[in-house]
Structure 1
Amino acid sequence: MPDNSNKFSASSDVRIPAWINEAYFKRLLKREFREFRRILNLSIIPATPPGETYTSLLMRIVIDIELKDGFSQQKSYIVKTMLDDAQGNGGFVNTLNIFPKEKMMYETIIPNLEQLYEEAGLSVKFAPKCHHAEDIKGRICLVQEDLQTKKYRNINRLKGFDMAHMHRVLEKLAEFHAAGAVWRQRKGPFPDDFQRIYLPANYQKSKSYQARLQSYKTAIASWGLADHEQYVSRIPTADQFVQSYASCFNNNPQEFKVLNHGDFWSSNIMLSYTQTGDINQVRFVDFQLCKWGSPAQDLWELIICSARHSIRIQYFDYFIRIYHTHLVRCLKILKYSERIPMLRELHMSMIKYGFWGYFTTFTHLVFILLPPDTEASLVKLTQPGEEGDRFRSKVYTNPLYVRSALSIFPFLLRRGILDF
């Protein structure tokens, strides 16, 4: 089932920058179509998911063009650019340097990763084609192919991936990780931006974290967990939260590391299907949070946030095996010359970096399992006070979230991951 909360919807609330106009796209179309004559019509559809937070301005641009032979054609592009500093979280987001990182991913790194497979005689694609990327006085803009025109779509985030989807996505992730590891071996370390950790200043004194903590503990007591006090007592303090997050990144040269996608859940994974309904191709989007580190980061987020509830915990170890089997295959194909990690080492790293399991449950899953809600916002989730308390109570006791938490928390407890 496609995700009904389609992120592309017309809205009068979004300010479209004046520079996104016919003149801007005329240059691109002249490069792409030798027979281009003129633009007949240009429509801009903002991506404004009701109540969902975002770090970018995302638009679908649909253009009717006339060719020199008199025939007309329609082209569709996805344009991603930075928020104004004054718009939403724009000022804060733009200091995180995520746009230069994504521009580098589309322009340089992803083509290089795909080239590794091409040299091995395989055609492997990870992302939509980037037609144009520019940085004008610090304003970064990406113009990408519109995967929807090739019948790619997202699954319904509220339902999650079934076993067939998990199998394909895990194998695709293994291909991506293997290529990153081999690229690092051949070319040296990834740029600093891919290894930097962003932690908010004075997190220990953060009123927003304390507000979330209190609301979360109150909600846990209402979920129906057997002996809920042991879970409430294990929820990390701000100090434990920061220390655990930081410990997920280390420079141990003996550990197998990869280039993680960093935001690896169903809305950033697009799939196409055959006429019989089988999965055909898989593509990833949104490469702003890529990070060099243990593959446990992407694996935890995928399984916790996007595996269907009925299989998430029951097949957890099996998912790691699917990934590992294909990872080994890909590393050998790409002639990785260092020691290939064993399956048991990967299982051990999932426990060592198990904080990602708690982190994604506490942060991302809350929003992912929230049905479309025009009132939902990250600001409300984090703001102290009555309005914030009401919203947090709503999301933390959302029946879909509670159902997941009732199986995830005992699983984390059994593996010692909640022993902060």
Structure 2
Amino acid sequence: MPDNSSKFNSSIQLDIPKWINAKYFEKKSYIVKTMLDDDKGGTLINSLNLFPKEKLMYEQILPQLEQFYHVLGKKVKFAPNCQWIEQKSNRITIVLEDLNTKKFRNINRLKGFDMPHMKRVLEKLAEFHAASVMWYEKYGTYPDEFHKSYLPANYQKSKSYQARVQSYKAAMATWGLEDYDKYMECIPNAEQFVNAAMSCFNSDPAEFKVLNHGDFWSSNIMLNYTSSGEVNQIRFVDFQLCKWGSPAQDLWELIVCSVVSNLRISEFDHFIRIYHTHLLKCLRVLNYTKTPPKLSDLHISMLKYGFWGYSTTFTQLVLILLPSDKDASLLKLIQPGDEGNKFRHKAYTNPLYVRAMLDILPFLYRRGILNF
């Protein structure tokens, strides 16, 4: 989902006297991220400890992940360079290089990645996950904030969730789904939703785990290109939701939220194979000594944690596919009342979203993921 921090481009420009040679001056551009003030919505956001986690990622963990490859002579970068971090009076500020100056950009979120893009993004994700496994092997358990899950208190009594489900079911009736009643009965109530979400955070010591990016969709993936138009380099941004667990979390979100519509389901299993093949290659390069996951293990985890597939369609995808940025508000989506109902109707009946759901919902149903 879009970052909830305050983030802006900062370019400092000076009026240079004519008698000074301009060649000694250079324009610099940076991305500045800082915590929101309490009166601007910061109380809730800051209570989730998102900035301390991102600070730790940029200060310590990301450089260490990249170092696993560097010592082997491989130039690997996962994120923009962090230029400066400051923590004063409980406010964290992070200054990053502006990737736009190196011609990095996002794809059109309404269209999604085609197959050549997906292959490169999946391979980059596998590099990131493999390095995160080696970090665990070398340094031990990730800090507590990488293991926590957050759900609102009293979610079962939430008027917000009830309003969303009511709007969702009303919209489903207009989609043209065959056997509409069959799917409507599968939509989880609040208690089922919470139970399914919490089951994704159970810790099985025998299960293969990685550090998930946790917010892995196209707007958090930046790319630049060769002169011939092929993907050259990839960087990930916004590391506030990183989570230690099954790689299924990042894979579900990427495939559901950021693939062109006609490939999302037809190439689903192929995407998992691409990721798995490169994951094994990276683990071998990094001299991983334990037994790596089999492809079948990965498919089983995609089923086991299939709730990520449903939840991302219910919350993230509906906002990602809204054509207008100014309307893509999570607060509006969860707001009870007439204004919220009006926005949800617009979002849930958006033709781009409907087209996606006509593929995704039957796919989830066939795989037993909607058995809440």
1:399 corresponds, among 351, 355, 369, to 351
- 1:268 deviates by 0.1
Q: TM-score, normalised by structure 1?
A: 0.86
Name the CA distance, whole Å, in 1 between partners of 2:35 and 2:326.
23
Greater RCO structure (CA 8 Å; 6+ sep): 2
Cα offset for 1:119? Answer: 1.4
Whole-angstrom distance in 2 between the partners of 1:384 and 1:252: 37
Q: 2 CA distance for matches of 1:113 and 1:130? A: 14
Q: CA deviation at 1:86?
A: 0.5
Which residue does 1:382 correspond to in 2? Answer: 334
What secondary structure is seen at the aligned counterpart in 2 of 1:79? strand
The answer on 1:252 being equivalent to 2:201 is no
Structure 1 residue 69 displacement after superposition? 7.0
Please state whether the residue corresponding to 2:26 is helix, strand or coil.
Answer: strand
Q: 2:31 aligns to what? A: 78
Structure 1 equivalent of residue 309 of structure 2:
357
- State the shift of 1:260 in Å: 0.1
2:300 aligned partner: 348
Q: Does 1:367 align with 2:367?
A: no
Cα deviation per residue 1:280-320 (whole Å; 9 max; x = unaligned)?
Answer: 00000000000000000000000000011010000000000
- 1:373 offset after TM fit, Å? 4.7
1:148-167 Cα deviation digits (max 9, x unpaired): 00000000000000000000
CA distance in 2 between partners of 1:53 and 1:293 (Å): 22
Counterpart check, 1:313 vs 2:265:
yes
**2:4 corresponding residue in structure 1:** 55
1:104-123 matched pairs, under 5 angstroms: 104-123=56-75
Residue pair 2:3, 2:238 contacting (<8 A) in 1 also: no
Judging changes above 3 Å, is the alpha-carbon distance between structure 1 residues 200 and 140 closer, same or farther for their aligned structure 2 residues?
Answer: same
Mapped to 1, the partners of 2:250 and 2:57 lie a distance apart of 17
Question: CA–CA distance in 2 between the matches of 1:103 and 1:359?
Answer: 27
SS at match of 2:94: strand
Tell me by how many angstroms 1:64 deviates.
Answer: 3.1
CA distance in structure 2 between the partners assigned to 1:367 and 1:373 by the alignment: 9
Aligned-pair distance for 1:54? Answer: 4.4
Residues 156-175 of structure 1: matches in 2 within 5 Å? 156-175=108-127
Please, which moves more after superposition, 154-163 or 67-76?
A: 67-76
Instruction: Give a deviation string over 1:309-340, Cα, whole Å, max 9, x none.
Output: 01000000000000000000001111112210
User: What SS is found at the alignment partner of 1:280?
Assistant: strand
- Distance (whole Å) between structure 1 residues aligned to residue 212 and residue 338 of structure 2: 38
Question: Residue deviations 1:341-396, cap 9 Å, x none?
Answer: 00000001000000000010001000000001534422221111111111111100
Instruction: Return the letter of the residue paired with 1:382.
Output: I
Task: Write the distance in 2 (CA, Å) between the matches of 1:376 and 1:319.
Answer: 28
Contact in 1 for aligned 2:7/2:34 (Cα 8 Å): yes
8 Å contact kept, 2:320–2:328: no
**Structure 1, residues 58-106: CA drift from partner, whole Å, max 9, x if none?**
010112367997622100000000111101x311001000000000001
Q: Any residues of structure 2 matched to 1:69-218 within 5 Å, and which?
A: 71-87=24-40, 89-218=41-170
TM-score, length-normalised on structure 2? 0.97
In the alignment, what sits opposite 2:232? 280
After superposition, the CA RMSD in angstroms is 1.4
Q: d(CA) in 2 for partners of 1:90 and 1:239? A: 28
What residue in structure 2 maps to residue 235 of structure 1?
A: 187
Paired amino acid for 2:246:
S
Q: 1:55 Cα shift?
A: 1.1
Residue 131 of structure 1 aligns to a residue in which SS?
strand
| Distance in 2 separating the partners of 1:118 and 1:359 | 37
**Rounded Cα–Cα distance in structure 2 between residues aligned with 1:294 and 1:98:** 20
Gaps of 5+ in 2: none
Q: Answer yes or no: is the 8 Å Cα contact 1:64–1:73 preserved in 2.
A: no
- Give the one of 172, 189, 198 matched to 1:220: 172
How far apart, in 1, do the equivalents of 2:325 and 2:206 lie? 45
Kindly indicate whether the alpha-carbon contact (under 8 Å) linking 1:64 and 1:72 is maintained by their aligned counterparts in 2.
no
Distance 1:184 1:53 in 2: 28
Distance 1:125 1:315 in 2: 28
CA distance in 2, matches of 1:175, 1:325: 11
> How many aligned positions are there?
368
Partner of 1:39: none
Segments of structure 1 that go 5 or more residues without pairing to the other structure are 1-51
